[in-house]
Amino acid sequence: METPDDIRKYVGKAMYDAHGQIIFRGADKDNLQQFLDVRGWGAIQNMGFKTVEEAMAFQDRVGQWVTDVINEKLK
Q: How confident is the model at residue 57, as a pLDDT?
A: 96
Task: Calculate the alpha carbon distances from 9 to 3, 14, 35, 43, 73 in Å.
Answer: 10, 12, 14, 34, 13
Q: Average pLDDT for residues 23-51, to the nearest whole number? A: 91
> Percent of the chain, pLDDT > 70?
97
**H or E element at residue 22:** strand 22-26
Q: Average pLDDT for residues 5-13, to the nearest whole number? A: 91
Q: How confident is the model at residue 53, as a pLDDT?
A: 95
**Summary mean pLDDT of the chain:** 92
The length of the chain is 75
- Give the span between the Cα atoms of 50 and 37, in whole angstroms: 25
Q: Average pLDDT for residues 14-43, to the nearest whole number? A: 91
